[in-house]
Amino acid sequence: MKKVLTILSLVMLFFAASAPIAAAQEAEEGGASAINPKEIIFEHLGDGYGWEVPFSHSHRIPLPVIVRDYEGGWHLFSSSRLMHGGEYEGFKIAEGGDYNGKVVGERPDGNGGMVQYRPLDLSITKNVAALIISALVVALMAFWLVGWYKRNGMKAPRKGLGAFEVTVAYIYDGVIKPTLGAKAKKFAPYLLTVFFFILTMNLLGLIVIFPGGANLTGNLAVTLVLSIFTFLLTNLFGTKHYWKDIFWPDVPWWLKVPVPMMPVIELFGIFTKPAALTVRLFANMMGGHMIVIVLTLLIFIFTAIGGLAIGGVTTVVSMLFSVFMLLIDTLVSFIQAYVFTMLSTLFISLAQAGGEHEEAVTEAK
Amino acid sequence: MELFTPELGLVFWMFVFFAILFFILAKFAWPYIIKSLEERGDMIDKGVLYAKNAKEQLDNAKVEAQKYVAEAQKQQADILRDAAKMKSQIIEEAKTAAQEEAKKVMDAAKLAIEQARKESELQFRNEVSSFALSIAEKMIKKNMEGDKAQAELVNKLLNEVENKN
C-alpha cells in the first residue's frame, strides 16, 4: 500500500512538473494572450455538453443533447456532433454573445433574415449527468444498507457500509430527532435524502476526473431546487399556529394594524430563509472550486510572465496550496451538507412547533 | 453571467431526479433503515439492562451461596458433634448393659452353684443318714451275735462305705 502511494505521488509530481513546460509551450505558440483565466475559470465552474477527459483538450465524453425547436419539434442527438464548432439539424454551440457556450438554433426573424434563438434545452449536460450519478450513488448506498439489514438482521455493518450507517445515525439522532421530536419520522426521509444527495454531489465535485468534477452544488439551479423543496415542505405542512404567527404575530397592535409592518416582515422572512439556504451552499461550494482552479492557473500565469524557473517554483507552492484547499473543501463538503440539512430541519420544525403547543393546550382542557 | 442565472434544463432535471430519488428512498430505504437502527438500539439497551440484572443476580447468588456454605458447615459441625456425643453415650450404655448382664449371669451362676451345693449337701446328708441308719441297724442286728462279730461287722461296713466312696 505504501509503495503504491509512493509511485502514485511520483507520477503526480511528474505531471505537476510538466505543467509549467506545457504552459511555456502554449505561451510560445500564442503569446501571453493564450491564457484567459476568466474563461477557463467559468468553463470549469459552468456546465458543458460533453464531459472532459484527463490530458486532452479536444476529446470529451459525448452526452445526449435534447432540444425543442421554435416549431415544437424535439431533437435528440449526441453532443459529439456539436464539438469543434459542428452544426447538426440546425443547432450549434454559440461562441460569444448572450448564449455563449449554449446550444442555439436559427429561425426567421420575419423580415426575411435569420436570427439566433435559444431552444428549450433539456439536454443531459455534464451537470445533469453528474446529477444522475450522484442520485445513483445515494440510492446504491441506501439500498446496500437495506440489503444488509435484510440479510444480516441485527448485526451491525462494518467498514464502508458502517461509515454510511454511522452518518445516517449521526444526522437522524443528532439533527433531525432532537429538533423535530415526535415529527422526526415524518420528515426524516426528505432530510436524509437532502443530506446524502448534497454530500455526494459535493464530494464527487472534488474528484477531478470522470465520475466527478462537475461543479454541481456550486450551481445556483441545483441549490435553488433543493431549497424550493425545503420551502414547500415547510409551508405546506405548516400548522395553523405558524400561519397565525406570520399574519398576526404577538406584537403590540400598532405594529400591525394601520400599517401591517410585522406581517410584511414575517412574510418576507418566509422567502429569505430558503434564499439564504440557496446562496450559502452555492457560494461555499463555488468558492472552493474557484480557489483550486485559480491556484492551478497561477502556474500558467507566472510561467507566462516569468518563464520556466518562476513557473516551477509556483508549481510547487500552488500544488501544496491546492492539496490543502482540497482537504479543506472535503471538510466544507460535509459541513455544508450538514448545515443545509440542519437549517432545513430547523425551518420545518419552526413551522411545526406551535401546533404541538396548541394540541397540548387543548388536551389539557 | 451564466453562473448566476439558473439554467432551465438543469432546474428541470434536478427537480425530476431529486423527486424520483426522494420518493424511492422515502418509500423503500429510509423508513426501513431508521426502523432497523432503532430496533438495534433498543436491543442493545435491553441487552445492557439484561447483563446488568444478570450481574446483580450473580453477585447475589455468590453471597447466597456463601451463606448456604456457611450454614452447611455449621450443620456439619453440629452433626459431627452430635454423632460424637451419641457414640460415647452408646458405648457407655453398652458398657453398663454388659456389666449388668455379666452380673446377672454371675448371680444366676452363684445361685445355681448354691442350689447345687445345697442339693448335694442334702443328698449327702440323706445318704450319710441312710448309711448311718443301715450301719446302726446292722450293728444292732450283729450285737445280738457277739462282740467280735460286731467289731467285724463294723469294720466290714466301714470298708463298704469306703469302697463305695
What ipTM score was computed for the predicted complex, to two decimals? 0.84
Rounded to a whole number of angstroms, the distance from the CA of A24 to the nearest CA of chain B is 30
Length of chain A in terms of residues written: 365
Mean pLDDT, range A54-81, rounded to an integer = 83
Q: What domain range is B147 assigned to?
A: 38-164
Rounded Cα–Cα distance for residues A89 and A68 (Å): 11
Average pLDDT for chain A: 83
CB-based contact (8 Å) between B16 and chain A? no
Contacts of A120 in chain B (CB under 8 A): 8
Q: Do A135 and B18 touch (CB under 8 A)?
A: yes
Mean pLDDT, range A191-211, rounded to an integer = 90
pLDDT digits (tens, 9 = 90+) for B3-62: 677 888 889 999 999 999 999 999 999 999 999 999 998 999 999 999 999 999 999 999
Nearest to B3 among A42, A132, A138 (CB): A42
Choice among A18-27, A190-199, A338-347 with the minimum mean pLDDT = A18-27
Mean pLDDT, range B72-92, rounded to an integer = 94
pLDDT digits (tens, 9 = 90+) for A287-309: 888 898 888 888 888 888 888 88
Q: Which whole-number Å values give the CA distances from B138 to A195, A313, A361, B61, B165, in the listed order?
A: 161, 181, 156, 111, 19
| Furthest C-alpha separation in chain A | 85
Predicted confidence at residue B148, as pLDDT, reads 74
Q: Do B30 and A100 touch (CB under 8 A)?
A: no
* Residues A79, A67 contacting (CB under 8 angstroms): no
Rounded to a whole number of angstroms, the distance from the CA of B52 to the nearest CA of chain A is 21
Mean pLDDT, range A218-233, rounded to an integer = 91
pLDDT digits (tens, 9 = 90+) for A115-160: 888 888 888 888 899 999 999 999 999 999 999 999 987 888 888 8
Predicted confidence at residue A99, as pLDDT, reads 78
Predicted confidence at residue A364, as pLDDT, reads 47
* Whether pLDDT at B149 is above 60: yes
* Whether pLDDT at A361 is above 50: no
Which residues partner with A67 through β-bridges? A75, A121
For residue B28, being part of any structural domain is answered with no
Which residues partner with A62 through β-bridges? A50
Alpha-helical segments (H) within chain B: 8-24, 30-143, 147-164
Which residues partner with A116 through β-bridges? A106
Confidence of residue A80 (pLDDT cuts 50, 70, 90): confident
Predicted confidence at residue A309, as pLDDT, reads 83
Predicted confidence at residue A303, as pLDDT, reads 84
Counting the structural domains of chain B, the total is 1
pLDDT digits (tens, 9 = 90+) for B105-132: 999 999 999 999 999 888 888 888 888 8
Query: With pLDDT > 90 as the criterion, what percentage of chain A qualifies?
Result: 27
For residue B121, being part of any structural domain is answered with yes
Mean pLDDT, range B146-163, rounded to an integer = 79
Contacts of B34 in chain A (CB under 8 A): 168, 172, 185, 188
Mean pLDDT, range B70-91, rounded to an integer = 94
For residue B154, being part of any structural domain is answered with yes
* Whether pLDDT at B104 is above 70: yes
Predicted confidence at residue A13, as pLDDT, reads 67
Predicted confidence at residue A216, as pLDDT, reads 86
pLDDT digits (tens, 9 = 90+) for A4-21: 877 777 777 666 666 656
* Whether pLDDT at B2 is above 70: no
Rounded Cα–Cα distance for residues A295 and A322 (Å): 6
Residue B74 vs residue B159, higher pLDDT: B74
Mean pLDDT, range A245-265, rounded to an integer = 79
Predicted confidence at residue A32, as pLDDT, reads 46
Q: Do A192 and B25 touch (CB under 8 A)?
A: yes
Quote the Cα angle for A275-A266-A179, to 5°.
Answer: 70
Choice among A12-26, A249-263, B18-32, B141-155 with the minimum mean pLDDT = A12-26
For residue B128, being part of any structural domain is answered with yes
The three cell numbers locating residue A85: 464548432
pTM above the 0.80 mark? no
Q: Do B3 and A286 touch (CB under 8 A)?
A: yes
Mean pLDDT, range A42-63, rounded to an integer = 81
Which residues have a Cβ under 8 Å from the Cβ of A79 and sit 6 or more positions away?
A49, A50, A60, A62, A63, A64, A65, A123
Give the residue on B whose Cα is nearest the Cα of A152: B36
Q: Which whole-number Å values give the CA distances from A103 to A92, A98, A152, in the listed order?
A: 5, 11, 51
Residues 37 through 56 of chain B touching chain A, CB cutoff 8 Å: 37, 39-40, 43
Predicted confidence at residue A27, as pLDDT, reads 53
